[in-house]
Structure 1
Amino acid sequence: MRGADSPASQASCSTLKDFLTRNAQSWRYEGPVTTEGTEMPEPPKAELISLSDEEQGVTVRILRAENFSGGGQDDTLHAEITVSSGFVNGRANLYLNSYDLDSWTAVLDTVESGRAASWLESGRSPRITISPAAISDSGCTEVSVHDVTASQIHVTVPIAAPSDWIERHRALLAAVRSRSPLTPDPL
């Protein structure tokens, strides 16, 4: 006997329900959820980096804030880097702290001054390097993602970025900081 009413199906559903109940804190909301007939909208995900043109792009999307230290306030942002093009597509998870957000400001300042800059160079997460169009071989803003922690793959994506992309990214950073304030890094 197979199907939803079979003993095997009931046992596996019961086991899954028990597992989900025990691990509810580690699951992220994938919404929508209905409660007493009311549909709850999915909380929007914030973008920290969104550099793309009609053909390809690189995005860093904040998935959720987390508290790793056990204190009262969130101290980490769980994020995802996405690279998309007709040639290669990939994703890598990363965790950001307040120091990482501060260093993203420094990267934007450096690139604005006409120099290439790398972000997340600690070796604990994928590294991103941005070369402004004025100094890149392609004549476009080049974004390189180095997955130093897992696959060891390095990909560079040339992007025809709008002239105001740095100002837009300062606004994205301000929105992320406002939405998910983090405990300052003690170091």
Structure 2
Amino acid sequence: MDTNTQPDAMELIRLADLSQSISVRLRSTEPTLESLGVRYYDAEAVVTSGFVNGTVYLGFDSEDLSDWGRLLDAIEEAEQEADLDEPFTADWPQSGRTAYLRFISDDPYVVEVHDGTSTQIVVSVPLDMGEEWIAESRERLAAARAALGGGAEDYRGAIPDHEPALPHDTPTA
């Protein structure tokens, strides 16, 4: 653990196969800022592979947690529709504010880490994830929601004050 990561830090996202991974680690479960009921958190996207290893700052807010839950639903739905002409593609958190992840539901999955606001470097990591990765991601999301407060144990049971938009590249039916 680096010296800037607090003891109460946790992993919000972990996508991995046998040789490489991408994770999003909260630097602390305490918000760095709270404004008008929205909490802002510091996190980092971490890429680990035999070829490249790196970490980039990734900030998100409490509304992005709901977006992550909806993105998991959309990916699961896209997986069930095997006749898609184009692979499902979506960003989390929304691109433009901070570094972000781009999910490309293909065979294998490709997750890109974009540092668009700073260096404009993109790292593309193909991942051969098992079938259980969405369920594991939902468990991590529920644990993060519980640790961060926000009043909801599970994004599906929560009634948000407002509906945040889906990530930018999420296709609509």
Into which bin does the TM-score normalised by the smaller protein fall? 0.7 to 0.9
**Which residue, out of 46, 55, 62, partners 2:10?**
46
**Which residue, out of 66, 72, 76, partners 1:102?**
66
TM-score, L = length of structure 2: 0.72
Counterparts of residues 133-148 of structure 1 (less than 5 Å): 136=106, 139-148=107-116
Counterparts of residues 9-158 of structure 1 (less than 5 Å): 42-43=7-8, 45-64=9-28, 65-69=30-34, 75-114=39-78, 115-132=88-105, 136=106, 139-158=107-126
The aligned amino acid for 1:80 is: E
1:185 Cα shift? 7.6
Which of the pair is proportionally richer in helix? 1
Structure 1 gaps of 5+ residues are 1-26, 31-41
SS in structure 2 at match of 1:173: helix
Structure 2 CA distance, aligned partners of 1:161 and 1:95?
A: 25
Which structure is higher in RCO with an 8 Å CA cutoff and minimum separation 6? 2
% identical equivalent positions: 34
Distance 1:88 1:104, change over 3 A: same
1:182 Cα shift? 3.8
Q: Does 1:159 align with 2:124?
A: no
Name the structure 1 match of 2:143. Answer: 175
Structure of larger gyration radius: 1
1:116 Cα shift? 2.5
User: CA RMSD of the aligned region, Å?
Assistant: 2.6
Name the structure 2 match of 1:17. Answer: none
Distance 1:126 1:185, change over 3 A: farther
- Tell me if the contact between 1:118 and 1:128 (Cα under 8 Å) persists in the aligned partners: yes
The aligned amino acid for 2:19 is: E
- Tell me if the contact between 1:142 and 1:157 (Cα under 8 Å) persists in the aligned partners: yes
SS in structure 1 at match of 2:58: strand
Structure 1 CA distance, aligned partners of 2:12 and 2:96?
A: 20
Distance 1:67 1:87, change over 3 A: closer
1:169 Cα shift? 0.4
Distance 1:122 1:170, change over 3 A: same
Structure 1 CA distance, aligned partners of 2:103 and 2:95?
A: 16
Structure 1 CA distance, aligned partners of 2:147 and 2:124?
A: 30
1:156 Cα shift? 1.1
Structure 2 gaps of 5+ residues are 79-87, 152-159, 165-173
